């Protein structure tokens, strides 16, 4: 029995090596090399910064965005808020309302780092431009296709990229828009469509519509669960940059039915590209086990993959890039859960940071620099 096990392992490794040699691009395989969480954090995480927001504004959290020396936070219900890097509230950007300088909701945010402008995308397809001081500079209406349901909205070098909910198929529809490229005047300058028959998505759609994308120094990195290729978009081109490994762990169009569990499948959440690596966040679940989140790091040069389980008690998390090209992973945590977690840390500095948390206070951000090289 033991000999048979070793034969299987050798066969698996040979297959993995063969797949990498055949691919022109890095092969991301979350099942290739599982390492201990402490080892993974030591290899790929820089010095962690703990920031608890003060209690001036208690908001329902959206995604935090790092500016040069500030943190921008959107709340779909309450609006857009700026904090300093110590968590002190600075000001609100715009306000909720129906006026010409207001937004009905802060659905998506973007930061123009060259011009220090904040963009707020609000229903129904309204784009507002604000200064960092909160002055409304412009309001335009985006003329978007009626069949586009925007899931992700990102900004890069004078263009907005609107990623569609892939999989919201309707009876009789022939094509699915993957993404639109829109200029700052609201004009569509490029679009990417994919046939629903090519995706093989059922007519009633799928639970995991998942586009995942992020902004890197090179452009927008994106993909979806039903395609084995990850792409990068910039001002001039849309090109493949990586591929998913083959394996039963993948959620593909073959099992993309609308249901409440793809047990044991990898559900990709977000991806970030640095100079020499891809960082991929994903989770998996079983009916008899708690939800677990993982981070897979793929080396572009050697093609090696390492995966480790994320340990922070996360409410949500996202990748973020700053002006100077650094890349971060930001965890949003409930204060009591994070304080309890940090009290058990082997790192004395983190234990001390945990002691400073007001357990009845506002949310806490765990800002993690991602290491470029190891």
Q: What is the mean pLDDT of residues 102-109?
A: 82
Strands 364-369 and 117-122, bridge-based pairing: unpaired
Q: Is the pLDDT of residue 309 over 60?
A: yes
- Residue 332's nearest CA partner among 309, 315, 354, 312 is 315
Q: How confident is the model at residue 11 (pLDDT cuts 50, 70, 90)?
A: very low
pLDDT at 21: 52
Q: What is the mean pLDDT of residues 302-309?
A: 90
Reading the block at residue 172, the tokens are 């009789």
Taking the C-alpha atoms of residue 206 and residue 340, their distance in angstroms, rounded to an integer, is 37
Q: Most distant CA pair in the chain: distance in Å?
A: 73
Each residue of 321-357: pLDDT tens digit?
Answer: 766 778 899 999 999 999 999 999 888 998 999 999 9
Q: Is the pLDDT of residue 7 over 50?
A: no
Which one is predicted more confidently, 21 or 318? Answer: 318
- Give bridge partners of residue 79 from the DSSP assignment: 75
Reading the block at residue 368, the tokens are 């993690």
- Residue 329's nearest CA partner among 293, 355, 360 is 293
Taking the C-alpha atoms of residue 266 and residue 151, their distance in angstroms, rounded to an integer, is 20
Q: Is the pLDDT of residue 284 over 70?
A: yes
Average per-residue pLDDT for the chain: 79
Taking the C-alpha atoms of residue 18 and residue 16, their distance in angstroms, rounded to an integer, is 5
pLDDT at 297: 95
Domains annotated on the chain, with CATH: 26-369 (2.120.10.30)
pLDDT at 170: 46
* Angle, CA 300 vertex, CA 299 and CA 304 arms, to 5°: 35
Judge whether 50 and 361 are in contact, CB under 8 Å.
Answer: no
pLDDT at 6: 38
């Amino acid at each position: 029995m033991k000999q048979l096990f070793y034969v299987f392992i050798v066969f698996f490794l040979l297959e993995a090596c063969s797949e990498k040699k055949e691919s022109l691009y890095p092969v991301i395989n979350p099942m290739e090399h599982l390492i201990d969480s402490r080892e993974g954090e030591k290899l790929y995480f820089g010095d962690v910064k703990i920031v608890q927001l003060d209690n001036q504004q208690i908001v329902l959290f959206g995604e935090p965005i790092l500016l040069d020396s500030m943190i921008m936070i959107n709340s779909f219900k309450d609006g857009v808020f700026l904090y300093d890097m110590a968590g002190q509230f600075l000001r609100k950007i715009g306000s909720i309302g129906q006026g010409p300088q207001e937004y009905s909701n802060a659905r998506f945010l973007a930061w123009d780092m060259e011009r220090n402008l904040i963009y707020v995308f609000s229903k129904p397809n309204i784009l507002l431009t604000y200064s960092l001081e909160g002055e409304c500079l412009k309001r335009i209406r985006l003329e978007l296709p009626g069949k586009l349901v925007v899931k992700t909205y990102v900004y890069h070098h004078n263009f907005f990229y609107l990623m569609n909910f892939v999989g919201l198929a309707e009876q009789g529809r022939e094509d699915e828009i993957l993404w639109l490229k829109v200029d700052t005047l609201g004009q569509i300058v490029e679009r990417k469509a994919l046939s629903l028959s090519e995706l093989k998505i059922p007519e009633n759609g799928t639970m995991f519509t998942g586009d995942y994308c992020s902004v890197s120094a090179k452009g927008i990195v994106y993909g979806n669960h039903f395609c084995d290729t990850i792409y990068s978009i910039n001002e001039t081109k849309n090109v493949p940059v990586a591929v998913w490994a083959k394996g039963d762990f993948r959620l593909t169009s073959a099992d993309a039915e609308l249901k409440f569990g793809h047990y044991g499948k990898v559900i990709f959440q977000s991806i970030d590209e640095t100079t020499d690596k891809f960082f991929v966040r994903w989770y998996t679940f079983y009916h008899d086990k708690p939800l677990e989140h993982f981070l897979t790091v793929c080396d572009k040069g050697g093609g090696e993959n390492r995966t480790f389980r994320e340990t922070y008690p996360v409410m949500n998390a996202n990748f973020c890039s700053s002006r100077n090209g650094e890349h971060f992973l930001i965890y949003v945590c409930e204060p009591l859960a994070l304080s309890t977690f940090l009290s058990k840390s082997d790192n004395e500095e983190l234990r001390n940071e945990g002691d400073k948390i007001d357990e009845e206070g506002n949310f806490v951000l765990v800002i993690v620099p991602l290491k470029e090289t190891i």
